[in-house]
Amino acid sequence: MSGNPPSIVLLPSSSSISSNPSIQTVTAHPIVRPPIILHQQTLQPSSSSSIPFKNVIVKPYRDSIQQALTTTNVDVKPIILQQSDNVEPHQPNKRIALDSSDFNSSNITFSAVPKSEVMTVLQQTQPLNTVSLATMVPQSSSNSASFSTLRLVTPSTFINPSEMSTIQTSGQQILLQQRGNLVITQPLVTLQVQQDPNSAQKENNSNPNLFPTEQSTTNTRTTNVDYLPIQYQRKPCNCTKSMCLKLYCDCFANGLNCQNCACLNCHNDTRHEEERAKAIAATLERNPNAFKSKMYKFANTTIPQPDRPLKGCNCKKSSCHKRYCECYESRVPCTNLCKCIGCKNTEQSVHPLNVGFYRSGQPKTTSQTPLDQIPRTGPPTETTIPNNVFNMEVTEALATCLLVTGQQCEMNQMSDLESKQAILKEFQRCMYQIVQSALGRPPTSSLFD
DNA sequence: GAGTTTGAAACT
DNA sequence: CAGTTTCAAACTC
Ligand SMILES: [Zn+2]
Ligand SMILES: [Zn+2]
Ligand SMILES: [Zn+2]
Ligand SMILES: [Zn+2]
Ligand SMILES: [Zn+2]
Ligand SMILES: [Zn+2]
């Protein structure tokens, strides 16, 4: 309820930077595979064996800091602070009645662009239904648009310097650790083109992966990713025989050029555009839906993206409870389109925290998961926040902010310690914004400090 | 890290 | 279409 949707702008509290275009990229393969939250997380009392830390290397897609990720329409539901007497402590499949009846669609906006610009941009793009775009960010923190930092709602989860987010900036690399349901992933920096007839086809290395997705147009370069405006593809492929020009290759399947991949004989790069184009055409001919999101996975789109899966799985041995299953991997329950045998991937079985993970602006769920049921290692809290707060989109935006901060640190030649502190602070700031938004709080409740 | 299992994509 | 092969990733040890 409550009339107008608040919007929250998350932008890196930029400090002074000088545009230093020459940054070299470290070529380490990102290890990113967002873990699926399981039900019976055995919460061992803080031991070595409890929730394992996984290292996630956040690595910039492109070198310079000139990146921005802007996302609109993130899911946010109005949420009432309340203690969690409502929920069974440890019942796995217990879900809270969800009434999707009325949700307050507030906006969260992450961006590496000064606030003012973001706003403008948003205004421009909104009608066009474009969500993300990349912009050059000069530097210049706008008029001290710094958001302040407050206390986090869940202090236990973060800011535990020694054990927690080991953030190291070394070279161009930021090493984070993942904990609980917070997954830091490589920030997306697929430049997602705006509808801009001219600039789209520039030769600046911006966006090599354009994909024609409409079957209508034979092979026109649609300058626009109609269906996949935001790409979550990060994982490097390891193809050896497909030349990364078949759907076997995830990079190709997601409309991306291979980058930082370990593939052999890869032709899925800008140097084989012609061949690649043919491959795309061939693939589309085989299956016109090929590059549409088969499952929900990449359904965070603005345009026609089908609201339901186009296709089901055919699992026979995995009970659809392994990541072999595309439905499970996409964190959606199996549907009647699936021809699986022995399926256990039901509405009930999907952990609430996984619901809508890959959906942008995923609004459906009003259910909450008490923080003490969120897998983590710290002590419980009485607060609850809506599910799906840390979906892929939000997480990615968060990661982008951190990355930008790290790069700024480098450019300013800050010491390691300073950098760590800065990034941690940025993390804190972002978290605060996210939580605020998750709680349905108005945006600007920021204070200067 | 090597070897196996799995199911989507490709092929016939 | 259906049946088979190929493929790269998920998984196991
Ligand atoms: Zn590949
Ligand atoms: Zn690749
Ligand atoms: Zn490749
Ligand atoms: Zn399945
Ligand atoms: Zn399924
Ligand atoms: Zn199934």
Over residues A249-264, the mean pLDDT reads 89
Q: Which pLDDT belongs to residue A368?
A: 55
pLDDT > 60? residue A235? yes
Q: What percent of chain A has pLDDT over 90?
A: 22
Q: Which pLDDT belongs to residue A397?
A: 78
Q: What distance in angstroms lies between residue A264's CA and the mean position of ligand 1's atoms?
A: 8
CA torsion sign for A235, A241, A247, A248 is negative
Q: If 0-12 CB within 10 Å is exposed, 13-18 middle and 19+ buried, where does residue A205 land?
A: exposed
DSSP characters for A231-261? ----SPP--SSSTT-STTSHHHHTT----S-
Q: At what angle do helices A392-411 and A416-438 cross, to 10 degrees?
A: 150
pLDDT > 90? residue A421? yes
Q: Which pLDDT belongs to residue A356?
A: 83
Q: What distance in angstroms lies between residue A267's CA and the mean position of ligand 3's atoms?
A: 6
Beta carbons of A377 and A392 less than 8 angstroms apart: no
Distance CA A227, CA A293 (A): 8
What confidence tier does A109 reach under pLDDT thresholds 50, 70, 90?
very low
Q: Phi and psi (nearest 5°) for A436?
A: -55, -50
Beta carbons of A364 and A169 less than 8 angstroms apart: no
Lowest-pLDDT choice from A112-116, A163-167, A235-239, A282-286: A163-167
Return the amino acid letter for A119: M
Q: What distance in angstroms lies between residue A269's CA and the mean position of ligand 1's atoms?
A: 10
Residue pointed to by tokens 């897998």:
A375
Q: Which nucleotides of B are covered by protein (CB under 7 A)?
A: 5-11
Q: Which residue has the higher pLDDT, A423 or A131?
A: A423
Over residues A191-199, the mean pLDDT reads 26
Winning range, highest mean pLDDT, from A88-102, A277-291, A298-312, A391-405: A277-291
Give the burial string for A22-59 (b: 16+ CB within 10 Å, else e). ebeeeeeebebebebbebebeeeeeeeeebeebebbbb
Pairing relationship of beta strands A107-110 and A7-10 according to DSSP bridges = parallel
Which nucleotide's C1' is closest to A235 (Cα)?
C9
Q: Which pLDDT belongs to residue A240?
A: 96
What confidence tier does A297 reach under pLDDT thresholds 50, 70, 90?
low
Which nucleotide's C1' is closest to A322 (Cα)?
C10
Distance CA A444, CA A77 (A): 17
Beta bridge pairs of residue A174? A58, A169
Which single residue has its CA nearest the C1' atom of nucleotide C10? A324
Query: Could you list the protein residues whose CB lies below 7 A from any atom in strand C?
Result: A 33, 235, 237-242, 244, 246, 248-250, 322-324, 329
Over residues A20-45, the mean pLDDT reads 54
What confidence tier does A144 reach under pLDDT thresholds 50, 70, 90?
very low
Return the ligand number nearest the Cα of A332.
5
Rounded to whole angstroms, what are the CA distances from A334 to A74, A305, A310?
24, 19, 12
Comparing CA positions, the residue from A58, A29, A67, A59 lying closest to residue A260 is A29
Q: Which pLDDT belongs to residue A407?
A: 87
Distance CA A362, CA A122 (A): 19
Q: Does this complex have an ipTM over 0.90?
A: yes
Beta carbons of A173 and A59 less than 8 angstroms apart: yes
Comparing CA positions, the residue from A309, A300, A306 lying closest to residue A359 is A300
Over residues A421-446, the mean pLDDT reads 79
What confidence tier does A310 reach under pLDDT thresholds 50, 70, 90?
confident
Q: Which residue has the higher pLDDT, A224 or A394?
A: A394
Helical (H) or strand (E) element with A54? strand A54-58
pLDDT tens digits, A356-402: 888 765 444 445 555 445 444 444 444 566 667 778 778 877 888 88
Q: Which pLDDT belongs to residue A387?
A: 65
Q: Phi and psi (nearest 5°) for A373?
A: -105, -10
What confidence tier does A307 reach under pLDDT thresholds 50, 70, 90?
low
DSSP A324: T
Angle at A416 between CA A412 and CA A420, to 5 degrees: 95
Tokens standing for A95? Answer: 């879900």
Q: Which nucleotides of C are covered by protein (CB under 7 A)?
A: 6-11
Helical (H) or strand (E) element with A173? strand A173-178
| Residue A297 CB in 7 A reach of strand B | no
- Calculate the average pLDDT of chain A: 55
Over residues A120-135, the mean pLDDT reads 24
Beta carbons of A165 and A424 less than 8 angstroms apart: yes
Distance CA A361, CA A60 (A): 24
Q: Which residue has the higher pLDDT, A206 or A437?
A: A437
Q: What distance in angstroms lies between residue A270's CA and the mean position of ligand 6's atoms?
A: 37
Over residues A193-205, the mean pLDDT reads 29
pLDDT tens digits, A64-107: 222 222 222 222 222 212 222 222 223 232 222 222 222 333 33
Residue pointed to by tokens 């932008």:
A11
Q: What distance in angstroms lies between residue A345's CA and the mean position of ligand 6's atoms?
A: 5
Q: Which residue has the higher pLDDT, A97 or A311?
A: A311
Angle at A368 between CA A96 and CA A381, to 5 degrees: 120
